[in-house]
A and B are shown apart, each in its own frame.
Chain A
């Protein structure tokens, strides 16, 4: 069975601080996909990134970066120089070949001006 754990329920940072959101996953499949989604107060889930299990290369997109480590089954997300607009709930998710997403419980990030 697949499982995603986001141990941090809520995080508060002051604007311009860096913040890392943790994600640990469990799966028995060798081929799988990992995702991060953002859910702002408006409620709509916004896709941020997808990584394949065979591609451990880290990725940077503007102020966002992702660190995928198969050895520790982790897929962590860092926001550099956080802004108030980054305030949202962030979900890590996993899909195996069956396609459906298994989500973690989310981490609520509050960026204080």
Chain B
């Protein structure tokens, strides 16, 4: 399978705990995106990497959120001190180089904060 993969697929945590999600993009894609999707809404942009550089962050990304992409391969998204409002589907997408504008999405990580 050469698509975007995400791990874990589901995460249930208690309020105040830290959680970390992983995304493995399509291997030749140098651009990687994180989005958040809540029930009944479209995905909302969180952050964007080109190779290992984090080039854009949404205002949705509070100080409790941090994302990394060491070596420009996989990426991690960490949420510290989770709140119930963080419950959502976290989607990762990757995209190839110039001229390839479509983003391909992974299956998502569904986070439930109790």
Where the two chains meet, the residues of A that have a C-beta atom closer than 8 Å to any C-beta of B are: 4, 33, 35, 37, 42-47, 50, 52, 91, 93, 95, 98-106
Inter-chain contact B106/A44, CB cutoff 8 Å? yes
Q: For B101, what are the chain A residues with a Cβ–Cβ distance below 8 Å? A: 33, 50, 52, 95, 99
Interface of chain B residues 22 through 41 with chain A (CB within 8 A): 31, 33, 35, 40-41
Total CB contacts across the A-B interface at under 8 A: 58
Instruction: Count contacts on B: residues with CB < 8 A to the other chain.
Output: 25
Q: Are A47 and B42 in touch, CB under 8 angstroms? A: no
| Partner-A contacts on B (CB < 8 A) | 31, 33, 35, 40-45, 48, 56, 58, 89, 91, 93, 95, 101-108, 110
Partner of A101, one of B43, B56, B106: B43
Indicate whether A43 sits within 8 Å of B31 (C-beta atoms), given known contacts A91-B42, A106-B42. no
Complex CA–CA separation, A108 to B82 (angstroms): 30
Q: Flag if B42 contacts A103 (CB, 8 Å).
A: yes
Which chain B residue lies CB-closest to A4? Answer: B42
List chain B residues, Cβ under 8 A from A50. 101-102
Report yes or no: A100 in contact with B105, Cβ–Cβ below 8 A: no
A98 to B95, CA, bound (A): 13
Contacts A44-B105, A44-B108 given; indicate if A99 touches B91 (C-beta within 8 A). Answer: no
